[in-house]
Structure 1
C-alpha cells in the first residue's frame, strides 16, 4: 500500500525525493488534501499557528513520522498524546542554525551599538554621535547549547569577546570548553555582559528567565531571546527594562504576535524583531535537503535523524 506523505511544498519542486510515496501538498489550508487517516509521514507547515499545525493530527491514525521544519517542537507537542504509539517526532536540526546565528549576532550588535537610535535620528535628520558599548571584550553567556547555540558561538568567535559561557540542561565537555548545567546559572549570570537565550521551550525552561534570574544580571547587561517567548517572564522583564537597569533584544515574545499597545513595544532599551530567526533565503534549500534525506531514510526503512521523541516511549536521541 502506498504511503501518503503530506508536504507543505509541492513535491515536483524538490529534487531527490524518493519514488513510492503518494506526495500530497498541504500548507495549512482549510481543506485537507486527502483523508488524514491515510497519512504516514506528516511534514508540519512552517510558520503557521499551532492550532493549524495540529488540526489534522487527531485524525492521523496511520501516522509514523511527524517532521517539523522548526528547531522547536513545542507547537505540536500538545497533540502527540492523541497519536498512535511509536510515532517519531523529528525536528529541523541543521536547517535554522545559520539564519538564527546571524540574527542573534545582529541583535547583539544592533543593541550594543545603538542602531535603533541611529535609525530614529536619521528619520528626524539629526546627527547623534557618541560612545557606545562594543561586543569586543564582553563576556557572553549562551543559554541553550544545542546546534543553534553552537552556531551562535561560531559567529561570536571573530568579535574578540572576552569569554563565552555555555549552559545547557546537563553538563558536558566540548572541543571549545565546558558546557555548564542549569544549576550553575546563579553563579554565571552576574559575570555575563550579554545573555543569549537559544533553549527549547519545555517544562524546565518555561518562565526560566524570571525575576530572580534577571536580578542576578549585572547593571547594563543585554538579554537576547532567539528561543521562545515563554522562556521569559514578560512582567519581570518589563520591570527590569522600565528601571533602566538592563536592555533586551527580543525576536520572540510572550504573547506572540506582540499586540498593538503592549508595553514591550515602548519599553526603554528594548529592540523587537517579529520572530524572523528562521525565515530567510537560507531556509528553503536546507529544508528541502532535510526532507529529501529523511524521506529517503523512511522509504528505505533506515533510522531517521533528528528524532526528539517517540510516542509511547518517552525521549529519544
Structure 2
C-alpha cells in the first residue's frame, strides 16, 4: 500500500510511525505543490499535512488509485465535500481529546476567575484587590453538546472541580441525552460546551433561539467549528452582557482585523489552537497509522466518516 505523506517538519513523525507497518511504502510530497510526479500518482492513501490540511485538496484528481484520505483531524468538514464517494474518508478522532478538553477547562476557569480583567489591571500596575467578581466552577452544571472523545474527556475531568456534566448526542444512550432534549436542557445549565462535528444538522445550531434559551450569565464554549455558531447572534448577547463566551473557532475564520467580535465584552478568543501542545502531531499520527493498519488487513477503519458535509 502506497501512502502519500507530506514532507513538512510536523509530518516527520508520520514517516517514523508508518515505517513500523509491513506492506506500506511511504511517498513524500509537497502539500503546497499543484502537480504530483508519476510515482506519487500511484498512491493508495493520501494523508493531508498536519498544518493547513486543506492545501492538497486539488491533488485528488491526480490520484486514480486512491482508496482513502486519512485526516489528522477529528473533524472532516474541510475534506468531506471534495472526496469522491468511492474513496474512504477517515479521521483521527480521539487523538486530541486530552489537549482539547484541557483547553475547555482552562477557558471556563479563565472566565470564572476573571483572569482577563486581572491581567488588564496588572498591565497598569494596579493592585485590584476585590475589584473583580470572581466565581467558582464548583457546583456548576455543564452541558456538553457532543458525546464523542472530546466531549467525554471534558466530562471525565469535571468532577475534580466539583462540577457536573450532562452529555448530549444525536441519539440517546446510557448516560447521554438525545439532541431532541436540547431546548429543555439549555435553561438548566451554567456552561454549554460545543464539541460536535460540523454537519448539515449542526451548522448554525447555535442561533438566536439557542442563545436565548441559555440562562443569564451563562458561558458558551466553542471547541468545535465556527460555523456551528451564528456569530452575529452571539455578538448581540455578548454586547448586552447577558452571556459570556470562550471561542477557539469563529465564523469567519481567521477572524479579520476590525471584526466586532474582537471587542465584545465577556469573550476570550484563541486562534484555533485548542489541540496544539508539544507532541500533538504524534498523537494524531498514532491514530492515523492505526486506521491504515486496519486498511492493510482488509478491515474498515473505525474512524471512517459516514455522513458527509456539503460545501
TM-score, length of structure 2 as denominator length: 0.90
Q: What per-residue deviation string (whole Å, max 9, x for no partner) do you get for residues 249-281 of structure 1?
A: 000000001111111111010000011112211
Tell me the equivalent position of 2:37. Answer: 34
2:220 is paired with a residue whose SS is strand
C-alpha contact (below 8 Å) 1:99/1:278 kept by paired residues: yes
With over 3 angstroms needed to count, the CA separation of the structure-2 counterparts of 1:237 and 1:310, relative to structure 1, is closer
- Cα separation, 1, equivalents of 2:119 and 2:37: 49
With over 3 angstroms needed to count, the CA separation of the structure-2 counterparts of 1:29 and 1:264, relative to structure 1, is same
1:119 aligns with 2:119: yes
Tell me the equivalent position of 1:190. Answer: 187
2:261 to 260, 264, 274: 264
Query: How far did residue 57 of structure 1 move?
Result: 1.6
C-alpha contact (below 8 Å) 1:88/1:309 kept by paired residues: no
C-alpha contact (below 8 Å) 2:221/2:246 kept by paired residues: yes
Tell me the equivalent position of 1:154. Answer: 156
The aligned runs of 1:1-317 (5 Å cut-off) are: 3-8=1-6, 9-10=11-12, 12-14=15-17, 16-26=19-29, 28-35=31-38, 37-48=41-52, 50=54, 52-80=55-83, 83=84, 85=86, 87-130=87-130, 131-161=133-163, 163-173=164-174, 177=175, 179-309=176-306
Unmatched runs of 5 consecutive residues or more in structure 2? none
With over 3 angstroms needed to count, the CA separation of the structure-2 counterparts of 1:33 and 1:290, relative to structure 1, is farther
Unmatched runs of 5 consecutive residues or more in structure 1? none
With over 3 angstroms needed to count, the CA separation of the structure-2 counterparts of 1:190 and 1:70, relative to structure 1, is same
Query: How far did residue 127 of structure 1 move?
Result: 1.6
With over 3 angstroms needed to count, the CA separation of the structure-2 counterparts of 1:64 and 1:48, relative to structure 1, is same
With over 3 angstroms needed to count, the CA separation of the structure-2 counterparts of 1:16 and 1:22, relative to structure 1, is closer
The count of aligned residue pairs is: 301
- Cα separation, 2, equivalents of 1:76 and 1:113: 38
C-alpha contact (below 8 Å) 2:76/2:91 kept by paired residues: yes
- Backbone CA RMSD of aligned residues: 2.0
C-alpha contact (below 8 Å) 1:40/1:64 kept by paired residues: yes
C-alpha contact (below 8 Å) 2:73/2:284 kept by paired residues: no
C-alpha contact (below 8 Å) 1:17/1:292 kept by paired residues: no
Show structure 1 runs of 4+ deviating over 4 A.
Answer: none
C-alpha contact (below 8 Å) 2:187/2:215 kept by paired residues: yes
1:261 is paired with a residue whose SS is coil
1:202 is paired with a residue whose SS is coil
With over 3 angstroms needed to count, the CA separation of the structure-2 counterparts of 1:224 and 1:21, relative to structure 1, is same
- Cα separation, 1, equivalents of 2:222 and 2:288: 28
2:305 is paired with a residue whose SS is strand
- Cα separation, 2, equivalents of 1:71 and 1:265: 27
